[in-house]
Amino acid sequence: MVIKLVRHGESLGNTGRVVPQISGDPDIPLTKHGKEQAKKVSTVIGREFIKSSLIYCSPYKRTQETLDEVLKASHLSRTELRIYEDPRLREVDFGYGDIEAQQEQRKVHGWFYYRYEGGESPADCYDRTSVFLESMMRQVTRRNQDTVLIITHGITIRCFVMRFLHLTVKQFNKIKNPDNCDVITIASNCDISEPDFTSQKWAVKGLKLYGSIE
Active-site positions read 8, 91
Q: CB–CB of 32/65 below 8 Å?
A: no
Q: CB–CB of 12/60 below 8 Å?
A: no
Note the Cα 73 to chain centre separation in Å. 20
Q: CB–CB of 80/71 below 8 Å?
A: no
Instruction: Give the other-Cβ count within 10 Å of 120's Cβ.
Output: 20
Q: Which amino acid is at 181?
A: C
Give the DSSP letter string of 167-209.
--HHHHTTBPPPPTT-EEEEEEGGG-SS-SEEETTEEEES--B
Q: CB–CB of 162/171 below 8 Å?
A: yes
